[in-house]
Amino acid sequence: MNMTDYTLYLCTDRDLMSTPTLEEAVEAAIRGGVTIVQLREKNCSSREFYDTAVSIKAICDRHQVPLIINDRLDIALAVDAAGVHVGQSDLPADKARAILGPDRIIGVSTATPEEALKAKADGADYIGVGAMFATGTKKHTRPVTMERLAQIRRSVDLPIVVIGGVNETNCTQFNGTGVDGLAVVSAIIAKPDIEAAARELRSLFRK
């Protein structure tokens, strides 16, 4: 039974954050109502990724918020994170499940009903669906229409978080669509007041 709260899903990006440190950004975001954190580090050594994961996990643990590691199963296991998130070009979810065991959370990026069904068959706990809108934080995204999102929602009963350009001006479009959460990057982490930005997004989505 998946009891994880995906309402406000923060993906980190140290290039965009408004605070001096990632730790400050994550702490403020959680205070504002972020319910789950994905640590995404693309441009650092394994040691730096590990050290960052240790310090971010300490913050998440203090607030009882799950920490998900992007792509790196070794880092997830090394810091005893709640789980991992994999994309279509990462290690397949069924292999991740075999390595991580039954108790960790596995999320999979999907853009089609077929990918969603495959993720479910492979043992995913939730799927990320997008890119919903144009986004500057990720290259090579595949656009997903609201109609396609509805098809994906009908195809699987897994929790869905929508990602890709989701912000305070468009997040209310997902109210009533049956999605479980908003995955956001710059709409929280790039704002001058991270805590307030998180609080606003959460209240808009839950209206």
CA distance readout (Å), 184 to 6, 123, 156, 180:
11, 24, 22, 13
186 classed as catalytic: no
Q: How many CA atoms lie within 13 A of 136 on its CB side?
A: 6
Catalytic residue among 72, 104, 109, 153: 109
End-to-end CA distance of the chain: give it in Å, rounded.
Answer: 26
- Could you say which of 57, 72, 104, 138 is catalytic? 138
Any catalytic annotation for residue 191?
A: no
- For the question of residue 18 being annotated catalytic, the response is no
The residues with which 109 forms a beta bridge, in sequence order, are: 128
Closest residue by Cα to residue 37 from 62, 3, 16, 6: 6
How much helix, strand and coil, in percent to the nearest 5, is found in the chain? Answer: 40, 15, 45
- Is 101 within 8 Å of 108 (Cβ atoms)? no
**Residue 198: cis peptide before it, omega within 30 degrees of 0:** no
Q: Indicate the SS3 state at residue 77.
A: helix
The residue annotated as part of the active site, out of 40, 104, 199, 202, is 40
**Catalytic residues, which ones?**
40, 109, 138
